[in-house]
Amino acid sequence: MTPTETPINTGRVIIVGAGLAAQYAALKLSPHPVLMISPEALGAGASSAWAQGGVAAAMDPADSADAHARDTVTAGAGTVDPGVATSVTAEARDHILDLTGLGTPFDRTSDGSYVLSREAAHSFARVVRVQGDQAGAEIMRALTVQVREADHIQVLEGVMATALEVTQGRVTGVAVARCDQGQSASVTLRGAAVLLAGGGSGGLYALTTNPPRIRGQVIGMAARAGAQIADAEFVQFHPTAMACGLDPAPLATEALRGEGATLVNRLGARFMPDAHPDAELAPRDIVARAVYAQTQQGLAPALDTRAALGAKILTDFPAVAAACQQAGLDPLTQVIPVAAAAHYHMGGVATDGEGATTLPGLWACGEVASTGLHGANRLASNGLLEALVYGRRCALAIDAALPSPADAAPVTLPDLPAAETPDPALVARLRQAMTDGAGVIRTAEGLTRTLTEIAAIEAAQPDCEALANMTATATLIAAAALMRRESRGAHFRSDYPQADGATGTRSLMTLKDALAIRDTTTRKEPA
């Protein structure tokens, strides 16, 4: 869909997204004028606000950044960049102190120390939290106050990005459309630089913990512009999404298992001790596959918090308690039904150590990016940490690439006519296809079938840019999964159940590569 209006020259750094990475980067870009593109009201609709666990950081004197880095590398199943892990974990403490100074009310002990939780695959309690399970919401609340008050930041709410403008190989702008009441035609905004911070891809699956709009559109937008995508096949499935019929599925945070909650089936039997020595605190991919197997066998997996937490769940984990209430469950007397749901995309737009992508003029941070930190399986609560570290790094790199800040007038969008929106039936087909063929357990046959279905969905509504962004990312996930003929971390192939060695290589793919794989794989033989 070609933008309908004359491009608007903003003179601003344009940030696509309004979650933690986007807001943190925007604040750090001061005094450069910034324009944030937010589909929802600022601070709403971002995955960051839904994050329950917290931020991983070695805050205890007995812990260390090196130990945190080792746990990150181990959880990542052989594809974490060790240098990235070392540098990111070394910065973690500074960001916790920075967020504290910005007003985040982290849980503290009577002596002022941070309350720390242990989560899966961590060798130490190092997850800094807020009110038990309110970390994402409270960090976002603190940042949103700062962003609202910042003179250098303008926020366009109810607006979504639909495409990148590339001029002579360089990203020069972003096409945006109104999305608060249906979707409008697009207009191109040109800026001094473009930063993508628009979330992941969980909503491409039928069962997800992600907010409704998070469906891979920003990764797809970058891929359609020619950016290289890394590790697309590595999608993390959270093992304890609440299976209560809601879309998105509420999350029963991993911290519950850190407090001693156990996974049981409808027979009342625990199943994790047989799956891994760390039982409920095994790496997420192992727990997710065990939960998925119980579901497939009709054994109704559930999380039992009754003995470990009792009434503490109501006060210490208010988000979980509220979700239970919404679902008509009493966690004091009942177990919580759970299922493995698409939660976090380790893959994304490939970046270097400063957040620069393979397209000049374009940077990326947060879940939309793939930095090498997460490898094949993200260590719990490293997602918010990566968003903070790379949010600041992108801001510093953009600052270094730009001339001295100049004043920029506020941007006003013109009246835009209505435009085609994705057919809900096609989006539902896409989500089901991804769950069926590119989900927790994968095969060549299932992935091929998924690629065929994605192509048919694309062809059914060829002129819808928002749908094209979704199908681009879905194609990359399925094609990369098909090419990785091994099982590693969150990527499990039942036809290749073993890892191809202790260490592996990261996948790097353009959309052109993925489409070639799709075309070759799905091409019918002549009659």
* C-alpha–C-alpha distance, residues 201 and 220, integer Å: 9
Residues with Cβ within 8 Å of residue 277, at least 6 apart in sequence: none
Report how far apart, in Å, the C-alpha atoms of 171 and of each of 211, 361, 410 are.
28, 5, 21
Structure tokens, 363: 């940077």
- Tell me how crowded residue 511 is: count the other CB atoms within 10 A of its CB: 22
Structure tokens, 155: 């926020």
Find the catalytic residue in 215, 284, 306, 488: 284
Residues with Cβ within 8 Å of residue 278, at least 6 apart in sequence: 120, 121
CA dihedral angle for residue 328, residue 330, residue 333, residue 336, rounded to 10 degrees:
80
* C-alpha–C-alpha distance, residues 226 and 164, integer Å: 10
Q: Is 284 a catalytic residue?
A: yes
Residues with Cβ within 8 Å of residue 112, at least 6 apart in sequence: none
* C-alpha–C-alpha distance, residues 171 and 166, integer Å: 4
Per DSSP, the residues of 249-292 read: PPB--THHHHTT-EEE-TTS-B-STTT-TTGGGS-HHHHHHHHH
Specify whether the CB–CB gap between 410 and 36 falls below 8 A.
no
Structure tokens, 114: 């941070």
Count of all residues that appear for the chain in the document:
527
Burial bucket for residue 181 (CB in 10 Å: 0-12, 13-18, 19+): exposed
Buried b (16+ CB within 10 A) or exposed e, 405-432: beebeebebeebeebebbeeebbebbbe
- Tell me how crowded residue 226 is: count the other CB atoms within 10 A of its CB: 17
Helix axes 217-224, 511-522, angle to 10 degrees: 90
Question: Which of 136, 135, 138, 124 lies closest to 59, judged by CA?
Answer: 124
Residues with Cβ within 8 Å of residue 77, at least 6 apart in sequence: 283, 285, 375, 376, 377, 488, 489, 499, 504
Which amino acid is located at 427 in the chain? V
Residues with Cβ within 8 Å of residue 19, at least 6 apart in sequence: 46, 47, 48, 49, 140, 197, 198, 199, 366, 387
Look at residue 164 and give its three-state secondary structure.
Answer: strand
β-strand pairing of 362-364 with 116-117: unpaired
Query: Alpha carbon 299 to chain centroid distance?
Result: 29
Residues annotated as catalytic are 284
